[in-house]
């Protein structure tokens, strides 16, 4: 459709680039809420998006109270008006400053001066809508000014400047004219966020009209329809639509999606989140409605649209504690015809031909409207009102084809069911009960209907080589993993920035999404929020080498998180911290898996625990525990300089950034401590005899200086190589500990000379080997060997730990 003053390109650009966001009164209740909404608009709305707002807090109710009081004697109206003015101008002064504050205060004073003239009888204002419209106007004006103060291009639009409607109980929108006016206002200004008043429109006689309660949600989808946008996001104080009302049911699950038919049926049956009028303007083939929480932005959202995934399934259990039945005598055909024309669809209806009666069930909120209508048509005794009934319903696509339908019907067998049947469109099963509802009945019905898989949220700390490899591995194995539990990666973080999305981060292009969406964070502050994530269980994958993260393990456990760790700093911490970690872990019954801290992906810890679980006793463990040192010594010979190998290992990423971490054996000490503690030994750093390969004069210089003086390692290393060769041996860096019968522990790390034919002398470069002697393996040891480093094998080890965690959590339910 051509619109004067606009090109087709501008109209199409608006349809493709603009989305609509809606914030209700509770989202704008005070100055703190305004700032939160401004942050959401800045961070989660596009630069050209449109925002529809309601009146702040209870402003609409306050105006209604003033209108009522103005018709009565006394000064109540003036007092209420003073209070409202103080509230509105207080918001302005708290949120704005300078010229912006003065501009809005001046406009506010003009508005309240008009109010005062009306209350004093000095100005006649026809209809309540004109004064009610100020609530939305104040919100839009203030939010736009706040955004401008924060450096965002924003303007407010009074919906009466574009939205034309014919006055009626539900105003009839003049779509062509309204669409043209709105596009003229929005389309030429890409890069500006427009804040639009909800709830109000302009009548054909230039009067103000209101769109009724829930009119702002309707305004949002109406504006979206006029602009032909692809998505409207309705921000509420709940995280989408749940499997039941969380105020009534203890254990509910948020739903990722609903199709149009399901959402409309749920709204028709009285959902507190959705209103039927919201769906009226929607182009169902193009638009998606997203319901999100403005209180916890990262929480899961519910997307409502036309989806291909439409297998039969009950999604929402809903209830009304009181409904009203009207019994209609069918012999009054004229009345029956009038009832069929009533502009209000009953929740449920049925006919009993044998009694010549029809029953209509309505929401308690509609009682006054229906009673007035019946009085007007003078029905006499042919309609009887019946109270004391309630309703429960199960909403879902093709509900009769589901097992839940049968379960629902059977579970209601012991209740006083007046009528059970399907909704007209087949997307709901409805039961009318001749009894009161109590929480025990509702919770029992919900738990029987929804046997959801338990859910696990995964927060990945560390997005380096191992983190990147694990995310790719998880993406490949996600379908298999999700057969055990609903597992979602809810966050990815490095040391400074975090990308958090409680509905699950999109992994298909996560690196670019991280760059775009990650925000600065502090882990200690994040801990206060994570326990509120909508998951049954939470786990942190600590893929860092950060000591500060390890020091927070007690807090992580205390906040209900499990830990899978590739970080050796916690398992090898000083004895006091290690014991604190273990104590808190056991107290809060959390899982801590860390197989990759020793041997990367090798199943070393599992083998040790399995032996001990069978009753065996570990007597000693020795071997080559470092993939880096294995690579260095397997490549070290008379023709090769040791310093060149160290430089190459650093260049290839085999060593730590400062190779002295490997050469000084600190990494090996950590691994030895972890293994010893795994079998219950009390071992600390000072208990291990360590022979470092870093000469004393190179220990305290910078890493850069050390790399420049690497050749100073060559002389002592060459001497060591020659000394070993005299007896047909080669030097290898071994770690070991052994336990005597008196439970005394001997632990050491250092160079040992190994015969050239020994298995310890003939590893593949980078290979680890663990030689384990036990009571049962006393003559011939248990040997575990394989790659001891590498991002892929380590990622595989992390995945193995995750599988172990899932198995333990499943077994615990």
pLDDT at 310 > cutoff 90 = no
Angle at 612 between CA 606 and CA 613, to 5 degrees: 85
**Ranges 55-64, 348-357, 439-448, most confident:** 55-64
Q: Which residues are identified as catalytic?
A: 671
Instruction: Give Cα separations from 208 to 61, 445, 450, 759 (angstroms).
Output: 18, 47, 47, 90
pLDDT at 480 > cutoff 90 = no
pLDDT, residue 219, reads: 94
pLDDT at 518 > cutoff 80 = yes
pLDDT at 322 > cutoff 70 = yes
206-235 pLDDT, tens digit per residue, is: 999 998 766 688 999 999 999 999 999 999
pLDDT at 394 > cutoff 90 = yes
From 97-106, 217-226, 307-316, the region with the lowest mean pLDDT: 307-316
pLDDT at 482 > cutoff 90 = no
Between 670 and 334, where is the model more confident?
670
pLDDT at 204 > cutoff 90 = yes
pTM: 0.63
146-159 pLDDT, tens digit per residue, is: 999 999 999 999 99
As to burial, measured by CB atoms within 10 angstroms (0-12 exposed, 13-18 middle, 19+ buried), residue 226 is buried
pLDDT, residue 336, reads: 74
pLDDT, residue 813, reads: 58
pLDDT, residue 499, reads: 93
Residues 160/132, Cβ–Cβ less than 8 Å: no
- Residue 370 pLDDT grade (very low, low, confident, very high; cuts 50, 70, 90): confident
Its sign, for the CA torsion 672, 674, 678, 681, is: positive
Rounded to whole angstroms, the Cα distance separating 165 from 201 reads 7
| pLDDT, mean of residues 324-331 | 86
Between 272 and 620, where is the model more confident?
620
40-57 pLDDT, tens digit per residue, is: 999 889 999 999 999 999
From the list 402, 726, 791, the residue with the least C-alpha distance to 596 is 791
| pLDDT, mean of residues 495-515 | 87
- Residue 309 pLDDT grade (very low, low, confident, very high; cuts 50, 70, 90): low
| pLDDT, mean of residues 278-303 | 85
DSSP 466-497: HHHHHHHHHHHHHHHHTTTSEEEEEEEE-SSE
pLDDT, residue 369, reads: 81
pLDDT at 335 > cutoff 80 = no
pLDDT, residue 1, reads: 61
Rounded to whole angstroms, the Cα distance separating 733 from 630 reads 8
| pLDDT, mean of residues 354-358 | 86
pLDDT, residue 144, reads: 97
753-762 pLDDT, tens digit per residue, is: 999 988 888 8
- 764 DSSP 8-state letter: P
pLDDT, residue 812, reads: 67
pLDDT at 296 > cutoff 90 = no
397-434 pLDDT, tens digit per residue, is: 999 999 899 999 999 988 999 999 999 889 999 999 99
Mean pLDDT, the chain, whole residue set: 90
Residues 753/731, Cβ–Cβ less than 8 Å: yes
- 242 DSSP 8-state letter: B
Rounded to whole angstroms, the Cα distance separating 513 from 508 reads 9
pLDDT at 453 > cutoff 70 = no
Residue with tokens 């308690």: 364
């Amino acid at each position: 459709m051509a619109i004067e003053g606009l090109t087709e390109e501008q109209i199409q650009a608006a349809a493709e680039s603009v989305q609509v966001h809606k914030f209700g009164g509770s989202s704008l209740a005070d100055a703190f809420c305004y700032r939160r909404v401004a942050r959401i608009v800045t961070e989660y709305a596009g630069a050209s998006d449109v925002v529809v707002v309601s009146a702040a807090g209870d402003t609409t109710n306050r105006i209604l109270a003033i209108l009522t009081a103005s018709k009565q004697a006394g000064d109540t109206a003036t007092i209420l008006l003073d209070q409202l003015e103080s509230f509105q101008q207080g918001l302005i002064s708290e949120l704005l400053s300078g010229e912006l504050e003065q501009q809005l205060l001046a406009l506010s004073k003009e508005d309240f001066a008009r109010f005062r003239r009306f209350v004093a009888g000095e100005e006649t204002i026809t209809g309540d809508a004109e004064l009610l419209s100020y609530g939305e106007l104040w919100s839009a004006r203030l939010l736009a000014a706040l955004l401008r103060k924060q450096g965002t291009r924003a303007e407010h639009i009074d919906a009466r400047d574009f939205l034309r409607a014919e006055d009626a109980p539900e105003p009839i929108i003049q779509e062509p004219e309204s669409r043209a006016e709105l596009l003229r206002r929005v389309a030429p200004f890409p890069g500006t966020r427009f804040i639009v008043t909800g709830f109000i429109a302009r009548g054909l006689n230039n009067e103000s009209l209101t769109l009724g309660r829930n009119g702002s949600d309707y305004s949002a989808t109406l504006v979206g329809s006029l602009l032909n946008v692809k998505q409207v996001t309705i921000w509420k104080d709940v995280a989408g639509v749940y499997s039941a009302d969380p105020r009534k049911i203890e254990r509910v699950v948020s739903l990722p999606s609903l199709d149009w038919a399901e959402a409309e049926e749920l709204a028709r049956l009285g959902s507190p989140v959705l209103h039927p009028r919201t769906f009226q303007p929607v182009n169902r083939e193009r638009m998606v409605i997203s319901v999100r929480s403005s209180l916890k932005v990262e929480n899961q959202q519910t997307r409502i649209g036309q989806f291909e995934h439409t297998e039969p399934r009950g999604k929402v259990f809903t209830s009304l504690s009181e409904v009203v039945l009207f019994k209609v005598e069918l012999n009054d055909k004229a009345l029956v015809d009038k009832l069929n024309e009533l502009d209000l669809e009953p929740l449920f209806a049925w006919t009993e031909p044998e009694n010549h009666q029809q029953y209509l069930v309505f929401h308690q909120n509609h009682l006054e409207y229906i009673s007035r209508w019946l009085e007007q048509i003078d029905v006499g005794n042919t309609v009887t009102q019946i109270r004391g009934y309630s309703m429960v319903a199960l909403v879902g696509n093709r509900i009769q084809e589901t097992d839940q339908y049968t379960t629902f019907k059977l579970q209601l067998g012991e209740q006083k069911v007046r009528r059970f049947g399907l909704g007209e469109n087949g997307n709901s099963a409805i039961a009318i009960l001749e009894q009161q509802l109590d929480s025990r009945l509702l919770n029992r019905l919900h738990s029987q209907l929804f046997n959801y898989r338990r859910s696990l949220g995964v927060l990945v700390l560390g997005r380096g080589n191992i983190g990147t490899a694990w995310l790719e591995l998880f993406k490949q194995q996600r379908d298999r993993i999700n057969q055990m539990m609903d597992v979602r990666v809810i966050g990815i973080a490095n040391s400074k920035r975090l990308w958090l999305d409680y509905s699950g981060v999109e992994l298909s292009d996560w690196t670019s999404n991280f760059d775009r969406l990650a925000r600065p964070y502090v882990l200690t502050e994040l801990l206060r929020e994570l326990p509120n994530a909508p998951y049954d269980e939470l786990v942190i994958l600590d893929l860092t080498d950060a000591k500060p993260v390890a020091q927070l393990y007690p807090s992580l456990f205390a906040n209900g998180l499990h830990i899978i760790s590739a970080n050796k700093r916690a398992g090898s911490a000083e004895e006091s911290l290690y014991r604190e970690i273990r104590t808190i872990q056991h107290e809060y019954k959390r899982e801590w898996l860390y197989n990759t801290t020793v041997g990367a992906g090798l199943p070393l810890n599992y083998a040790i625990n399995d032996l001990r679980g069978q009753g065996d006793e570990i007597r000693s463990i020795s071997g080559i525990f470092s993939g880096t040192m294995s690579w260095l010594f397997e490549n070290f010979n008379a023709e090769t300089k040791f310093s060149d190998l160290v430089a190459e290992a650093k260049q290839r990423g085999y060593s730590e950034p400062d190779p002295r971490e490997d050469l000084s054996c600190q990494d090996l000490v950590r691994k030895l401590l972890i293994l010893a503690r795994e079998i219950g030994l009390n071992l600390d750093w000072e208990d291990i005899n360590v022979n470092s390969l870093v000469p004393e004069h190179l220990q305290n210089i910078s890493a850069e200086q050390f790399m420049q003086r690497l050749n100073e390692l060559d002389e002592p290393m060459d001497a060591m190589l020659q000394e070993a060769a005299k007896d047909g041996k080669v030097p290898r860096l071994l770690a070991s500990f052994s336990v005597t019968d008196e439970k005394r522990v001997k632990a050491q790390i250092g160079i040992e000379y190994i015969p050239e034919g020994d298995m310890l002398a003939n590893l593949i470069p980078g290979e680890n080997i663990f030689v384990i002697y036990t009571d049962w393996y006393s003559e011939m040891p248990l040997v575990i060997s394989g790659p001891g480093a590498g991002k892929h094998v380590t990622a595989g080890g992390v995945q193995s730990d995750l599988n172990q965690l899932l198995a333990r959590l499943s077994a615990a339910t």
